[in-house]
Amino acid sequence: MKENIGLSRREFIKATGAACAAFLMAGTLPGLVKPTSAAEAEEKIGDVLKRHFGDRKIETGHVDIKAPIIAENGAVVPITVTSDLPMEKDNYVKKIYIYAEGNIQPYVASSNLTPANGKAELALRIKMRKTSNVRAVFETSTGKLYEGIKSVKVTIGGCGG
């Protein structure tokens, strides 16, 4: 024979509903009641870069981005990033960061490297919400930062026109 412990499922649902209604009326859960607009939730690329790199200077050059000029499917945009920077024991690319500036959260991916990789290169498929820049930042073991930027047009509905 089962022993009745605590509330029944029906009593639990009623109590939970009453508690939620009380919170809503009191306005103590504004984030759940009032959805954040996309404009308010969208991160700016400058803020993301500042969070990742602080005030360190990011130089242009030494980074090549291969991506389609027009991506017919924004859900799977193929990109390859490479660099001519050395991959030696004391001077190598230690991390690659990828950003899609038009995404609500621009930071897409990163990869750690060692000199054993032989070449600073990363190929992947990323999701892009809309037409915008793809940015790759290479961080060296000496602390220097290099970036490359390429614009990619994302078509609506998969049509290349």
What is the per-residue pLDDT across 7-66, written as a single tens digit (0 to 9) for each?
788 887 887 777 777 766 665 555 554 545 555 568 999 999 999 999 999 999 999 999
> Own/partner pairs for 121-124, CB < 8 Å, 24+ apart?
121/80, 121/81, 121/82, 121/83, 122/80, 122/81, 122/96, 122/98, 123/78, 123/79, 123/80, 123/81, 124/78, 124/79, 124/98
pLDDT of residue 96: 98
Q: Decide if pLDDT at 111 tops 90.
A: yes
pTM, 2 dp: 0.74
Query: 3-state class of 2 per DSSP?
Result: coil
Q: Domains of the chain by range and CATH?
A: 9-35 (no CATH), 43-158 (2.60.40.2470)
